[in-house]
Amino acid sequence: MTPAMRFLCICSWLVCLLNGNVFAHEGRPVFIQVKSLNSTARSTDGEQQSYSLQWKIPPVFAPGTEPSISLSGKECSSKMFPGSQGLIGKMRYTCNFSSKRPGVKITYPDVNPALSSLLVFLDDGGSSQHVFSGPETLLIQIPDSENVFNIARQYINGGIKHILLGWDHLLFVLCLLILAGSTRRILITISGFTLAHSLTLVLTALTIISLPILLVEALIALSIVVLAAETFRGKLNPTQQSLTWRYPALVASLFGLLHGFGFASILGGLGLPQNMKMTALMCFNLGIELGQLVFIAVVLVFIAFARKIAMVKRQQDNFVRFTIYLAGITASYWMVQRLVSI
């Protein structure tokens, strides 16, 4: 690696230290629960329906920049419960009765740091409906009924958005692609990673097994460090390749089991609708795989394009080494940051 590349890598690492959110991904959504209270009353304007609104916002906002959560319905009046704060709160609403259920409005005074939202609606009978929305949705309408197509669309989108915003998982996949090299080895390696993380995702989501999430996140960062170190060493000494280089699918499968716990923690934050639990689980996993395939396709297209540019072999190798070097340093920073949080 040339001195200029080392200097650029160190500068990038310093940027990560100065701003820990550069590569960080907050997987938890804005959690909102609306409960229909069995207290319909009559007024001069007709019948009224009461609702309880609760919210929990991930702690990624500076004081005063938290979003406000409110019920959007036909002439609704509200009352704040004592003890409600910016990130955690509860309100009671009384709205003029309408056959159409109210919606929930999210207002950001500053900007939304790519947070999704999960709305859980509990009706009078105790059944629940889940509405998972992306960061661009600021007005969420509670559907009159829940169907399999809406659940499938929501959780597939949720899986795609999570993997494409999960920089730690993407860096691991990138190192796997560099390690595998040939098309055949890439297919086998990625298949092993997919099967492994799908297994632990399902088992954890169904509460059959579990691991502390803070430990899992630190170990995921460690897996990137280990893979980057092995890949970098193999690039420097092609004649002395380790077990990782010879059997990348085995390494991908072992670490894939670990990454599945990370995916499951995100799904746990989104919740699973009780009457369509398996549908939501399978669709979320499908979304992860689709997002992963999109990322792999983009990387392979970039590699094919780069090979057409007039670059000598030495420059190509230096660029690959620089990429691995940066991935390892970034993951090391994540690992230390997450270990401190345990």
CA distances (Å), origin 295, targets 111, 161, 166, 260, 299: 26, 12, 11, 18, 6
Query: 281 pLDDT exceeds 70?
Result: yes
pTM of the model: 0.73
85 compared with 94, residue with greater pLDDT: 94
pLDDT over 80 at 125, yes or no = no
What whole-number distance in Å separates Cα of residue 58 and Cα of residue 27? 9
Give pLDDT, residue 238: 62
Per-residue confidence (pLDDT) for residue 6, from 0 to 100:
47
* Sheet strand arrangement including 117-122: 76-80, 88-96, 46-56, 30-43, 117-122, 128-133
Average pLDDT over residues 99-111: 81
**What's residue 41's pLDDT?**
55
Mean confidence (pLDDT) of the chain: 79
Q: What is the pLDDT of residue 36?
A: 85
Residue 289: pLDDT band with limits 50, 70, 90: very high
Q: Higher model confidence: residue 81 or residue 322? A: 322
pLDDT band with cut points at 50, 70 and 90 for residue 93 = confident
Checking 279-283 for CB contacts under 8 A at 24+ apart, the result is 279/148, 279/151, 279/152, 279/155, 280/130, 280/151, 280/154, 280/155, 281/155, 281/201, 281/202, 281/205, 281/206, 283/151, 283/152, 283/154, 283/155, 283/156, 283/159
State the pLDDT confidence band at 294, using cuts at 50, 70 and 90. very high
123 φ, ψ to 5°?
-90, 180
pLDDT in tens, 32-72: 988 888 655 555 555 778 888 999 888 777 777 888 888 88
Indicate if the pLDDT at residue 104 is higher than 50: yes
Question: Averaging pLDDT over each range in 45-59, 142-156, 251-265, 313-327, which range is the top one?
Answer: 251-265
Question: In DSSP terms, which residues pair with 68 in a beta bridge?
Answer: 107
Q: Is the per-residue pLDDT at 123 higher than 60?
A: yes
Element (H, E) at 69: strand 68-72
The DSSP element (H or E) to which 339 belongs, if any, is helix 313-341
